[in-house]
Amino acid sequence: MKAAAFLTSIVVSSIVSCASAEQETDEIRAIRVPMEIVERMPVLDFRINDLDVRLTLDTGSGTTLTLYPQILDQLEKTTTGEIHESIGIEGVVMKNRVFEVSTVQLGDAVYTDVLVRQDDHTEKHRTDTIAYRGTYGRVGRSLFDDGKLVIDYGNNELTIIPHAAPAEDQALCHGVELPLETDKEGMGLTTRVQTDIGELHVVWDTGFRGNVMLKRTTDAAGLSLQARDQFRTEKFAINGNDFGPVRMNVWELPALPPDLHALIGYWFFADKVVCVDFPRQRLFVQDHASTGIAN
């Protein structure tokens, strides 16, 4: 296991396990994994040690695995002695113990010595998520950060490209190249975007069922919008590439860092193929051939 870094942020405290993906064959190749879109959320089937678990893919989370108590209690695990402390998006401070599990498998990708912690949502949220999505936690971007990840909602597929995969597999990550900023305060995959109301700092977050504009941002722009109203920008340009129009729901999320303006989720990913190149801090975006996904 590589050294683990423990990062605390206002958005979410990141427990980063730098475990590497391995394959059952000697040849390192890209791994395609089925992904189901349930209630506008990407869902993946994992095997953690000897337990099958469905998790939501949440690129907005730096935590490797976050599991519901009923799953965590069943797993053989090692206590690391660390305490995970975070301030959630509603401003509530939460503390959870950090554990290590021996193996996590996603399709043919196997990760070893992976850090996990307990989910800190309310019991009602967990009960509703199990009922509606059948998921028992989430997997964050840290599980994949030594390579590339192709997120394809339209084909219900996730492609993991290890850094040691051959060039033909690396080429699966293509499209319009967009720069990602250095991870500040644990915010994750962020970009500066030009919009109808000026430059915005946005985070790419598959953990949101839509797109979210923070109300403080619309207030600063002089817009008379209330929480749960909808904002639409015709312009959504990055490095001269315009992906507009983009619509966003207005939310009050005061605990998020002041430099963050919006969160980009399902409504963007739904008709795009998005590839994250973690080592080189790049995003590649291409339009999906099929645009029949409902918004």
Q: What is the mean pLDDT of residues 132-144?
A: 95
> What percentage of residues in the chain have a pLDDT greater than 90?
71
220 pLDDT band, cuts 50/70/90, is very high
Q: What is the mean pLDDT of residues 170-191?
A: 85
> For residue 86, what pLDDT is reported?
67
pLDDT digits (tens, 9 = 90+) for 143-161: 999 999 999 999 999 999 9
Q: What is the mean pLDDT of residues 96-117?
A: 94
Fold (topology level) of 5-165: Cathepsin D, subunit A; domain 1 (2.40.70)
> For residue 4, what pLDDT is reported?
31
Q: Which residue has the tokens 């290590």?
A: 100
Residue extents of the structural domains in the chain: 5-165, 176-287
Computed over every residue of the chain, the mean pLDDT equals: 86
286 pLDDT band, cuts 50/70/90, is very high
Nearest CA among 220, 209, 215 for reference residue 231: 215
21 pLDDT band, cuts 50/70/90, is low
Residues 6+ apart with CB under 8 A from 87: 10, 13, 93, 94, 255
Residue 176 reports pLDDT greater than 50: yes
User: Fold match between 5-165 and 176-287?
Assistant: yes
CA distances, 35 to each of 38, 40, 140, 152, 268 (Å): 10, 12, 15, 8, 17
What is the rounded distance in angstroms from the CA atom of residue 212 to the CA atom of residue 195? 14
Prediction pTM value: 0.86
> For residue 140, what pLDDT is reported?
93
- Note the CATH architecture for domain 176-287: Beta Barrel (2.40)
Q: Rounded to 5, what percent of the chain is helix, strand, coil?
A: 10, 45, 45
Is 293 in contact with 153 (CB distance < 8 Å)? yes
